Amino acid sequence: MPVVAALFAVVLTACAPRYGYHRDELYFLAAGRHLSWGYPDQPPLTPLLAEAMAAIDPDSLFVLRLPAVLAATLVVVCAGLMAREFGGGRGAQALAAAAVASAALVMGAGHMLSTAVIDLAVWSVVSVLMLVLLRGRGGGGDPRWWPVIGVVVGIGWQNKLLLIFPVLALLVSLLALGPRKLFATKFFPMAIGIAILIWLPYLVWQARNGWPQWEMGRAIAGGSSGTSDSPIMFVLLQFGLMGPLLVPLWAFGLWRLARDSRYRASAATYGLLFALFLVTGGKAYYLGGMYPILLAAGAVPVAAWLGRARTRWAAVSFVVAVNAAISAVLFLPVLPVSMLKDTPVLAVNYDAGETIGWPEFTRQVGEARARLGRDVTILTANYGEAAAIERFGAPYDLPKPHSGHNSYWWWGPPSDTATDVLTIGIEHDQLTRICTDIHPAGHIDNALDIDNDEQGEPLFHCRIRAPWSQLWPQLKHLG
């Protein structure tokens, strides 16, 4: 297992500086410069990590992504530890770790700093600790692990609210299917108190700002995100999150958990989450945290069946290696950027396109504003565009950008004295609500024929109809 984890970390580290910043990474850097106990679309942990990495080297993409590499590697290590808790030896632990390391979701999440990769790591740690609690007949593990679980969950809730659902689903499953003995201890309510105490500052921020996270959740469920999935795609993508070649292994693990009275609650947790996210419009990767435990559960009997048969081990290793190769090509920046438009990578991996072209995007915005004058303010359609201008705009003397999207709306409007505006990515029909004298100012072209969210987006120069302080409330949008 340690060898597998080390190799995985080396691969991610080597790939870390390739291509460029993802729009969300640029946004985390911007949010880190506005540190707060909360944001309308997320808790503060990931922006805090981004700010910490920027303090080490503000211009290094490699440094920024180190927490993601560590978090993804922790998921791989936890998979091996889960296999050990299921009774597996070194072979089972290595197989579980290698399967998770080869997974498309884990590779893709580990390549860039995001709330998703931290969430995967947190839930993997919680899964290991719960298995430790389940040691012995009837769940006779040491209950003093409960406060540790409370700390981990509390930290996870400061990263992403999604963790609420697997925690609740697991507790409901344990109460329904047992072993209920786990809860017969003073350490369980202590864990709840610790988790809520760690989470409390974010809850206070949300309450003081009108609970924007609820509106954000409804917007994502309605398809506002670039990675939103339809119900049928949610189901189909479950077969691709770990890689199609691993489906038999995790399906076998799910079957095994469902048949074992001690671990049946884990299988039920998967079923509850699958149904919940399917009905509520969740993204496919929301269920991703459950697959390491399923793969670990499947790896133990498979490793026992393989025994000392080298031919069988070679065959299984080949399957895992092929899965890893496919995942790497699709979800790591291994291909030259110039080749991407002629491959299926962009169609399969939406995020790959969002890591390309931001310096060129900012250069074109800078040239457009230079033609219009230094008094022109900048308004973008989304946080990625605004954050890219903040990151790359200094050589072009670009001012602080503004946007009505997510946290940027909270960070305030331009000065009321700024009447001329250069807009990026906002369509003409939308601008008529706030602007007069609207004139085209160009289009964005990444010069690579990469079809990402900014390619072909319009630029307009216009004059606002009223002071920004009056217009700003109607520009707010979450998603």
Predicted confidence at residue 479, as pLDDT, reads 85
Distance CA 450, CA 338 (A): 9
The answer to whether position 130 is within a domain reads: yes
Same domain, 268 and 415: no
Same domain, 30 and 164: yes
Same domain, 250 and 279: yes
Same domain, 226 and 364: no
The answer to whether position 324 is within a domain reads: yes
- Full pLDDT tens readout for the chain, 479 residues: 899 999 999 999 999 999 999 999 999 999 999 999 999 999 999 999 999 999 999 999 999 999 999 999 999 999 999 999 999 999 999 999 999 999 999 999 999 999 999 999 999 999 999 999 987 545 557 899 999 999 999 999 999 999 999 999 999 999 999 888 899 999 999 999 999 999 999 999 999 999 998 888 877 776 655 566 789 999 999 999 999 999 999 999 999 999 998 999 999 999 999 999 999 988 999 999 999 999 999 999 999 999 888 999 999 999 999 999 999 999 999 999 989 998 999 999 999 999 999 999 999 999 999 999 999 999 999 999 999 999 999 999 999 999 999 999 999 999 999 999 999 999 999 999 999 999 999 999 999 989 999 999 999 999 999 999 999 999 999 98
The answer to whether position 353 is within a domain reads: no
Amino acid at 325: A
How many structural domains comprise the chain? 2
The answer to whether position 268 is within a domain reads: yes
Same domain, 329 and 379: no
Domain interval for residue 453: 358-475
The answer to whether position 348 is within a domain reads: no
User: CB of 206 within 8 A of CB of 39?
Assistant: no
Predicted confidence at residue 227, as pLDDT, reads 60
Domain end point (choices 280, 307, 337): 337
Same domain, 72 and 205: yes
Same domain, 72 and 213: yes
SS3 of 22, please? coil
pLDDT digits (tens, 9 = 90+) for 50-94: 999 999 999 999 999 999 999 999 999 999 999 999 999 999 999
Same domain, 292 and 424: no
HEC string for 161-225: HHHHHHHHHHHHHHHHHCCHHHHCCCHHHHHHHHHHHHHHHHHHHHHHCCCHHHHHHHHHHCCCC
Same domain, 333 and 379: no
Nearest to 453 by CA among 346, 329, 331: 346
The answer to whether position 344 is within a domain reads: no
Rg of the chain, C-alpha, whole Å: 24
Full strand arrangement of the beta sheet holding 402-403: 402-403, 377-380, 420-424, 458-464, 435-443
Same domain, 301 and 390: no
Same domain, 129 and 275: yes
The answer to whether position 351 is within a domain reads: no
Same domain, 292 and 175: yes
The answer to whether position 352 is within a domain reads: no
- H-only helix segments in 209-309: 212-221, 231-237, 247-259, 264-280, 291-306
Assigned token pair, 479 = 């998603």
